[in-house]
A and B are shown apart, each in its own frame.
Chain A
Amino acid sequence: MLPPVFGVLFDGLAYGMLLFLLSVGQSVTLGMMNFINLAHCSFAMLGGYVTVGLMNRYGFSFFATLPCAFVVAAFVSIGFERTLFRRLYRASELDQVLLTVGIVFISIGVAAYFFGTDQQPLLLPAYLRDSLTFLGTRFAVYRLFLLGIALVITIVLVLVLEYTRFGARVRAAVDNERMARGLGINVDRTFAITFALGSGLAGLGGALAIEIVGLDPYFALTYLVYVLIVVSVGGLGSISGSFLAAIVLGISDIAGKYYVPQVGAFLIYLVMITLLMWRPLGLLGRR
């Protein structure tokens, strides 16, 4: 029989994975491209609505909707990137904040118009709603599943960005755009693809998150704060930093709520401020 602290740790870990899945895309757009994209959770929300819509209206299975969430969010984001965001890559951070907050507000209105303001129902297959009992502690299968997916995404992303030609191009384009152009790298296309990748991951994260956190039009704003916290604490441009930060924040949030419920969300903000003051570039930030 394991002491209850393991249950708390597991829930914190799973919550951290959820935060990581929501923010890994942001770690690509904000972290690698240095674009302060507050509309990240709008793309996550889009992914969530794609999943819910396909499952409830067209009878898709849950797993079949996940790639759709990725693809739809990625394609919509390319549209935004080509028309709006690319004008602001070199703009001040205030302009980036304002434009993307504007898009968040618009997305709230659009989602409310099409889906109403209610929570969207989502019914997962039975085997995902089950839980395993190991040494007297219950582990929800869905949370284990989140843990697995988060690990896979981290490994794949790190490999892609660090060891492939595409990853090298992205890093070159971010570090020195003019030099990269001079070397014949199609910077515009690289940025567009990177942005689509980040937003697609957001859509996937949103689709995976709604089982636990629910989905309504204010999703785009509610989880934005958490995503920003994870990315800035983890360190810009560092996928594994985000992974680490998500675990620290997830566990401290769940443990705080379990052991000292009266402080509520207070603890996660305190942890963030302390970590940022200690390391302003984030835990594993390089730039």
Chain B
Amino acid sequence: MALAEKASSPLFYLRAQTQWRPVEIAFWLAVLLPYALFPNYLSLASQIAIAGMFALSLDLILGYAGIVSLGHAAFFGVGAYTAGLLSKHGWGEPVSGLVAAAIVAGLVGYATSFVICRFRHLALIMLTLGFGLLLAELANSLGWLTGGMDGLQGIHTWKLLGYFHFDLYGYTAFGYALAVLFVVFLFARRLIHSPFGLSLRGIRENFVRMPAIGAPSRSHIRTIYTIAAAIAGIAGALLTETTQTVSLDSLDLSRSADVLVMLVLGGAGRLYGGLVGAVIYMVARDQFSGIAPQYWYFWIGLLLVAVVILLPNGILGGLAKLALRGSRS
């Protein structure tokens, strides 16, 4: 049983996890399909890529570290406003805008993480909710900076890399969003399959016991929270740069709720959960945009109840279970 021995060693486990599986390669090839199949929907496709990245950032803290956040839009909004303000005041270079947004959102995340890592359960949920609401209210009252209810006016994004113009049809926007998403995804994948990623899962399962085996729970949570905030900031900045607008709804509570729904729908604690959830959620919302928002809420609510009762690990969790059952029989 040399194989079993090998399989039980942590190094072997981590290496096996980092191997690219064919279905993953197929997924990343399939995301290029909109260029060929739905050229009229490229702006929706770039919105999906952005939402997917946002959901991925939530997955890092919720799915892997077990921090239930109801205020993750705070970092999305900080990133969006950072890129928007830079552009408004004369610096519309997109890539450095992303970097700036990541740094600012990461700093805000780092500052709040000192509070976040000290709490669990209900107090944690309430604190994330409170920070989100606080920031949204702050942006609303600082009208001179953020433009208040009207949103930020006069954003102009320069050509990407000095060459690609952001066109009306979203060719550049989609390519740009996909490229950034892929880079961020590679980073998240590497992170999750590292010993650090493993210890995060340990913290999720038992916050108190992990320090006993040498994984400081609090500092790990601070690190991952900062990283997730920076990624959410990048997602927000991408939205600003590709749509050339920022408004208060980038900080809204409903954005935090939406991203939670996407992640749970796809499957929390899985790298592709947020991406799959974002595709399904955004396409469904686009298709049903004709119906009144309160009825859209009704169906989303029904979906949430169904997912919690029937598919506790989301769509990907359900598929994995089916696949496991198939391979056994």
The number of chain B residues with a CB under 8 A from chain A is 43
- Given A94-B268, A108-B294, A264-B140; A272-B126 close (CB under 8 Å): yes
0 or 1 for each of A119-149: is its CB under 8 Å from B? (1 = yes): 0000000000000000000000000000000
Does any Cβ of B come within 8 Å of A109's Cβ? Answer: yes
Contact with B along A246-287 (1 / 0, CB 8 A): 000000000000000011111001101100110011000000
Do the beta carbons of A112 and B292 come within 8 Å of each other? yes
B126→A106 contact, CB < 8 A: no
Q: Is the CB of B300 within 8 A of A105?
A: yes
B294 and A98 contacting across the interface, CB-CB below 8 Å: no
A162 at interface, CB cutoff 8 A: no
Which residues from A are CB-within-8-Å of B283?
Answer: none
* Given A109-B294, A270-B134; 20 other pairs, CB 8 A cutoff: A87-B309, A93-B68, A95-B312, A97-B68, A98-B308, A102-B300, A102-B302, A102-B305, A108-B298, A109-B298, A109-B299, A112-B294, A217-B294, A225-B253, A229-B130, A263-B141, A264-B137, A266-B137, A269-B137, A277-B127
CB atoms of B304 and A98 under 8 A apart: yes
Tell me the bound Cα distance from A241 to B324 in angstroms: 49
Q: Contacts A112-B294, A112-B295, A262-B141 given: A102-B304 contact, CB under 8 Å?
A: yes
A178-212 interface with B by 8 A CB criterion: none
Interface residue SS majority, chain A: helix
* A228 in contact with B129 (CB, 8 Å): yes
| Smallest CB gap from A30: residue in B | B122
Using Cβ atoms and an 8 Å threshold, which residues of chain A touch B129?
225, 228
Q: Which residues of B contact A217 (CB under 8 A)?
A: 294
B62 at the interface (CB under 8 A from A): yes
* A105 engages B304 (CB within 8 Å): yes
State the CA gap A112–B299 with chains docked (Å).
13
Select A264's contact among B126, B127, B141, B303, beta carbons within 8 Å: B141
Q: Would A236 and B62 count as touching, CB distance under 8 A? A: no
Check B133 for interface membership: any CB of A closer than 8 A.
yes
Question: What are the residues of chain B within 8 A of A273 when measuring CB–CB?
Answer: 127, 130-131, 134
| Identity of the chain B residue whose Cβ is nearest the Cβ of A261 in the assembled complex | B141
Which secondary structure dominates where chain B touches chain A?
helix
Contact (Cβ within 8 A) A225 B301: no
Whether B126 and A232, one on each chain, are in contact in the complex, defined by CB atoms closer than 8 angstroms, is: yes
> How far, in angstroms, from A108 to B295 measured CA to CA in the complex?
8
User: Does residue A104 face the partner (Cβ distance < 8 Å to B)?
Assistant: yes
Per-residue B-contact encoding for A82-115, CB less than 8 Å = 1, 0 else: 0010011000011101110111111111101100
Q: Which residue of B lies closest to A217 (CB)?
A: B294
Residues of B within 8 A of A (CB): 62, 68, 70, 115, 118-119, 121-123, 125-127, 129-131, 133-134, 137-138, 140-141, 253, 257, 260-261, 264, 268, 292, 294-295, 297-305, 307-309, 312
Interchain CB contact under 8 A, B130 and A269? yes
> Chain A residue with minimal CB distance to B264?
A98
Minimum Cβ distance to chain B for residue A251 (Å): 18
Q: A269 to B70, alpha carbons, bound, how many Å?
A: 14
- State the CA gap A217–B119 with chains docked (Å): 33
Q: Please report the C-alpha to C-alpha distance between residue A246 and residue B308 in the assembled complex, in whole angstroms.
A: 32
B308 touches A95 (CB 8 A): yes
For A109, A276, A277, the residue with the greatest tally of chain B CB atoms inside 10 Å of its CB is A109
Smallest CB-CB separation from B307: which chain A residue? A98
Closest B residue by C-beta to A236: B122
Q: Are A266 and B302 in contact (CB under 8 A)?
A: no
A99 & B308 in contact (Cβ 8 Å cutoff): yes
Give chain A residues whose Cβ lies under 8 Å from the Cβ of B126.
228-229, 232, 272, 276
Q: Are B130 and A266 in contact (CB under 8 A)?
A: no
Judge whether A117 is part of the interface by a CB distance below 8 angstroms.
Answer: yes
Chain B residues within 8 Å of A265, by CB: 133, 137
Residues on the B chain within 8 Å of A46, using CB: none
Give 1 or 0 for each of A24-48: 1 = CB within 8 Å of chain B CB: 0000001000001000000000000
In the complex, the answer to whether B130 meets A106 with C-beta atoms within 8 Å is no
Q: How far is the CB of A85 from chain B (nearest CB, A)?
A: 11
> Could you list some 16 contacts between A and B, CB below 8 A?
A93-B121, A94-B62, A94-B264, A95-B308, A97-B70, A98-B304, A101-B301, A106-B305, A108-B297, A117-B292, A263-B141, A269-B133, A276-B126, A276-B127, A277-B115, A280-B118
Which A residues touch B308, using CB under 8 A?
88, 95, 98-99, 102
Known contacts A84-B309, A98-B264; A281 and B123 CB within 8 A of each other: yes
